[in-house]
Structure 1
Amino acid sequence: MKDGRTHLAYKAEHTVDLGSEQILSADVHHGTDSDTATIIDSIATAQRHVAAAGGEAAINEVAADKGYHSNTVLVDCQEAGVRTCIPERETGQRKWNDKPLEVEQAFRDNRLRVKRRKGRRLQRLRSELVEWTFAHVCETGGARRTWLRGLENVRKRYTIQAAGRNLGLVMRRLFGIGTPRSLQGAVVALCALILGLWGLLRRLETLRAAFGWQMANNARFVATYFGTTLRLAAV
């Protein structure tokens, strides 16, 4: 693993649009690959997916956790025109004498963006929305473990899992229901509503019949007694 442990595992990485909450790219890497070695490829893959879908938006801001912070990542993003908002790791005093000027400039610009109000808001959204996607795909979707062999096969299955999550998000926004479980609950609620209305109509019909029978009896009573009284008075 990237933290030094010996464990048979892959590393899943999501690139999420914080506005629409859609997963722009979901890739799987070897467990020994560091975060700083894969983030640039994930950003490029997300941009290709947006272009392939017919979108014209360009990725111009990136928010990530401190595991993705490195001088190389900051410089590469700055050269690509992407503003970074990545918290720096807890290290000692940094020395810039042996580093190019653009490295220090990229580092300090990133530090300023992290400390701003917008940077803090982006970090809150990242910690909330990105983790939700992992919960939906890995926990609820069951993609935490796999019995497939080979990185390519795992990537194919994980991509389908992430696409299903995006489809559920679109369905939820269009119809209010995004999963079969939610659809099942809606069907049960609809059936209960129909049964309730049917029972109410039966009750109203019973009351109407009873009321009509009572009115008919009252009419016969009036016709029998008061009608005769009126005729006698006329004589």
Structure 2
Amino acid sequence: MALGKQGDRNGKMFIAWDELPKSPGHVFYDRLQSLLNKAGFDSFVEGLCAPLYASRKGRPSIPPGRYFRMHLVGYFEGIESERGIEWRCADSLSLREFLLLDTGQSVPDHSSLSRIRSRLPLELHQEIFTWVLDVITHAGLVQGDRIGVDASTMEANAAMRSIVRKDTGEGYRQMLYRMAKESGMNTPTNEDLSRMDRQRKGKKTSNKDWESPTDPEAKVARMKDGRTRLAYKPEHAVDLDTGAVVGVDIHPADQGDTKTLSETLKTTKKNLEKVGKAPSLNNPTELIADKGYHSRAVLKELDDSLWKTRIAEPKRKGLNWWNGDHDARRAVYNNRIRLGSGKACESAKRRTELVERSFQHTLDRGGMRKTWLRGRENVEKRYLLHVTGFNLGLLMRKMIGYGTPKGAADAWNLVFVGYQTKSGWILLVFAVHEEHPNNLMPVAAVSKSLV
């Protein structure tokens, strides 16, 4: 046999069909594809999107099901940007199969994802989320008896150094330069400006006075790791019996938990109604939250409503003064009584575990801790699809035991086969994949002589 060299490659004018590279398949994506096809995902999506496109004339668009599948790939693969999603799909034969691409078709460009996202309204993305929620409800993954609520932070695609004053349009660096000139510095250097910024009193970057020119809806906020950044605030409502996210909203990062709770509960109630798990006055749903959501106004609004609150109460210094507000007093004491039960302690532990797990998967592992989109609506559109992927992952975990492609690809078991010969023992070790038990991969062979 002669040595093959890279320079010996010659291009072919024609290639036979059976010589084309074919995907060996991927356990996770093949099962997910089967799940979506069985539930009628593409026909449902195309029915929703049909009014947004021309009925007869025009070049056929990219199938909307492909757009949503690419964003599901972004979640499962933990890809931050849409450019990265495009590259990953083009690089993998199994993902091309998942996107239902023919041999001569190319993966949609990242700019096509942006155009389709602009065409499809936020309400349609919410319908996709609700459709998947209905699918997992039929699989027993939505109970609707206990809901845990919490929020996190998501860094926006805007830099703090680019913020400008709302009244004058003056940038932060320009303001420091002007103040340095007014203090007597003729030619202040960057070091002088940084020193003056650290030493000046009353330094405060307020959302009331400052905004980002590239993303005005992003707000200055303290991140979970202590940094100050322009950010958004995702808030989850999670079923504490199954871990499924039943409601999600993106709020301005400068709004407190007590201000955003009502909007998230409205979204959650609407979603639960669509899947047949709506709370009622006769059978209210338990609402579990941390002490950041505790306020008299919140408890007063939710008392004797569709929600039975178990909201942790912060420690107070001194006595509570009610000033004649008996409804607030009754709501606070009712919530306090419910917190004293053993069921409340168990629910609080479940909330800490399951709600934080949903943020860990969508923000950190899923690649959305920092968004590359601008505008709250655009951010919420992609984030809804990310959380949709999270819920599908729960269903996949129930079906095949693994909720991510990496977990399914690593699902190998070791099989030990030993037999005796005339001179000793031989032990063979094979690796067997759970989904393909007929394919054995040799790992090791050990022999021991009895002579």
Alignment TM-score, normalising by the size of structure 2: 0.41
Gaps (5+ residues) in structure 1?
201-235
Matches within 5 A, 1:175-186: 175-186=400-411
- Cα distance, 1:99–1:50 mapped onto 2, change above 3 Å: same
Q: Of the candidates 379, 387, 396, which is equivalent to residue 154 of structure 1? A: 379
Q: For the residues of structure 2 that align with 1:196 and 1:34, how far apart are their CA atoms?
A: 55
Task: State the AA in 1 paired with 2:270.
Answer: R
Q: For the residues of structure 2 that align with 1:53 and 1:192, how far apart are their CA atoms?
A: 37
**Higher Cα Rg, which structure:** 1
Q: For the residues of structure 2 that align with 1:3 and 1:56, how far apart are their CA atoms?
A: 35
Hey, what does 1:167 align to over in structure 2? Answer: 392
Q: For the residues of structure 2 that align with 1:57 and 1:82, how far apart are their CA atoms?
A: 7
Q: Of the candidates 195, 220, 239, which is equivalent to residue 17 of structure 1? A: 239
Partner SS, residue 152 of structure 1? helix
Structure 1 residue runs of 4+, over 2 Å off?
1-7, 53-59, 93-97, 186-189, 191-197
Matches within 5 A, 1:193-212: 194-195=439-440
* 1:41-80 deviations in Å (ceiling 9; x for gaps): 2112111111123435555210001000001111111142
Relative contact order, higher structure (CA 8 A, sep 6+): 2
Task: Please identify which structure carries the higher strand content.
Answer: 2
Hey, what does 2:181 align to over in structure 1? Answer: none
Task: State the AA in 1 paired with 2:378.
Answer: N
Could you tell me how far 1:181 is from its partner in structure 2?
1.0
Q: For the residues of structure 1 that align with 2:279 and 2:306, how far apart are their CA atoms?
A: 14
- Cα distance, 1:98–1:149 mapped onto 2, change above 3 Å: same
RMSD over aligned CA atoms reads 2.6
Deviates more, 1:185-194 or 1:167-176: 185-194
Task: Please identify which structure carries the higher helix content.
Answer: 1
Could you tell me how far 1:192 is from its partner in structure 2?
8.4
Does the CA-based 8 Å contact 1:2-1:34 persist in structure 2?
A: no
Matches within 5 A, 1:1-235: 1=220, 7-56=229-278, 60-186=285-411, 189-190=432-433, 194-195=439-440
Does the CA-based 8 Å contact 2:300-2:328 persist in structure 1?
A: yes
Q: For the residues of structure 1 that align with 2:297 and 2:322, how far apart are their CA atoms?
A: 17
- Cα distance, 1:142–1:3 mapped onto 2, change above 3 Å: closer
Partner SS, residue 242 of structure 2? coil
Partner SS, residue 369 of structure 2? coil
Could you tell me how far 1:15 is from its partner in structure 2?
0.2
Hey, what does 1:228 align to over in structure 2? Answer: none
Gaps (5+ residues) in structure 2?
1-219, 413-430, 446-451
- Cα distance, 1:110–1:189 mapped onto 2, change above 3 Å: same
Does the CA-based 8 Å contact 1:96-1:104 persist in structure 2?
A: no
- Cα distance, 1:45–1:99 mapped onto 2, change above 3 Å: farther
* 1:106-161 deviations in Å (ceiling 9; x for gaps): 10111111121111111111111111111111111111111110000111111111
Q: For the residues of structure 1 that align with 2:322 and 2:404, how far apart are their CA atoms?
A: 56
The share of aligned pairs that are identical, in percent, is 36
